Structure 1
């Protein structure tokens, strides 16, 4: 189960406080909501916290203080749909946060044992190869890179071997974002990208509480990156399939691209697509990057091209 990261074992897995994933999320949102935002009149007594008190939230949600306290303390680890909806309304949760709370509070929370390595369908690899003009990358719920096309590789991680997704240790977007200075420098909007990445990992571990590889990734990031650790404890949750990415690319310079994320059904994998409006300087930058690949090809295409040239 998801919980607070408090350390790391020798094998890299997380040492966590068990049984309080639901409570931790509730507490973070209660402390975030001010009395004014909740419509509570200010009292004459001094408040020791800026957010709502437990009793205030319980009253807004229509539950007893004792019951809410048991939820937040991890004594009770599930709640009915009606209680979840009432808490979500009282806490002013966004739709993505509401759904996240529903997953955490499910009395029959699904536990999907994951293999140590995600598998990419061959048809998706073929699909990537056909997208020669659009940078594309496929990641799994752990943010492991399962595959990318040539332009996607050149855009996001040209300093990494093209065939790295097929190696024993795959590139990982979250790990590169926080620990790889080359990949970090790519994002002019690094803070925004980092927040989205941490939120995605929170949602992933809520869906897959029995995934040791995911636990190990989060544990290592929490230990190796103070920035990740600070973001993680804030428990960001959001859902958005479209972003504008402001990049500072080492080859083509500053470029702003639309980033669409398409979820693959049944696989818990996503395709990230990057594109620019036709006729813009950003589109010209992508064309320039593609032309550079034609002059200096990488990946499995290279061997075939060399044979044809002989």
Structure 2
């Protein structure tokens, strides 16, 4: 626990909330003059035992429940970055999931320009794998240059995908399906993810692989066989990143090398110095 940083974050955000906005009145005579909600008022609004919030803000509440932290964060109107900080300061770990159900669904518009400027195959999807932006190189992978609305649903369930993603059953599906499971664990109320899971479980090829488990979390650095519509068979090396303001969203860049065999050398890991 980082008590100093935790106290500073909570005090600053608590001071911004007018008690009147929650039905409290300020004392008119001798009494408290500090800005914002009192610690007692926070307990009242969160329906917690008197003194609970004081313990949190003062740093004397080790291993505070994630539910308490989430309630405080929402009452104080924290954004996703502040939510990460709160969990790191209070628990020394990242949050168990996003603060708001709508988080991870949009990115700054400049990302389209950034993706357009990438020469390699590139696209951006949100936390449900709905496509947000892609470049021409990505669109060219698909018939009529029509990119799929949801990249995970396409990769897992579209018949064309099982042809284009070479050796789908061994090289792709066992690494894709655990990502779906992990996303649902973090976002159990996501309707899009739940529907994809339902469709996967109804698919005779995908269901057994999904039910068998697996531990793949992301494809960063993976190299997989891919049938390019224009360049023919080859290997796609994947670079994965996340826009910092959009938890769960992902930027995917595919570096494609034509050829049936892996004839190209793998670059060594990059290290400073």
Task: State the 1:159 CA deviation.
Answer: 4.0
Task: State the 1:256 CA deviation.
Answer: 1.5
Q: Distance in 1 between matches of 2:208 and 2:259?
A: 37
Q: Which residue of structure 2 lines up, in the alignment, with residue 130 of structure 1? A: 117
**1:150 matched to 2:129:** no
2:182 to 203, 214, 219: 203
1:252-271 CA deviation, whole Å, 9 max, x = no partner? 21111211111222311111
Change (3 A) 1:127 1:253: same
Q: Give matches, 1:1-310, under 5 Å.
A: 110=97, 112-115=99-102, 118-131=105-118, 133-155=119-141, 157-159=142-144, 161=146, 171-190=149-168, 191-223=170-202, 225-239=203-217, 240-267=219-246, 268-276=248-256
Task: State the 1:116 CA deviation.
Answer: 10
Flag the structure with larger Rg: 2
The answer to whether the 8 Å contact 2:124/2:252 transfers is: yes
- Calculate the TM-score normalised by the size of structure 1: 0.47
Equivalenced residue count is: 165
The answer to whether the 8 Å contact 1:113/1:210 transfers is: no
Q: Distance in 1 between matches of 2:166 and 2:259?
A: 17
The answer to whether the 8 Å contact 1:111/1:210 transfers is: no
Unmatched tracts of structure 2, length 5 or more? 1-64, 66-92, 261-273
Task: State the 1:117 CA deviation.
Answer: 8.7
Q: Which aligned segments of 4 or more residues in structure 1 are displaced greater than 4 angstroms?
A: 108-113
The answer to whether the 8 Å contact 1:186/1:247 transfers is: yes
Task: State the 1:212 CA deviation.
Answer: 2.2
Which structure dedicates a bigger proportion of its chain to helix? 1
Q: Distance in 1 between matches of 2:210 and 2:227?
A: 26
Task: State the 1:203 CA deviation.
Answer: 0.8
**How well do the aligned residues superpose, as a CA RMSD in angstroms?**
2.9
1:157-192 CA deviation, whole Å, 9 max, x = no partner? 244525xxxxxxx62222212332222211113132
- Calculate the TM-score normalised by the size of structure 2: 0.53
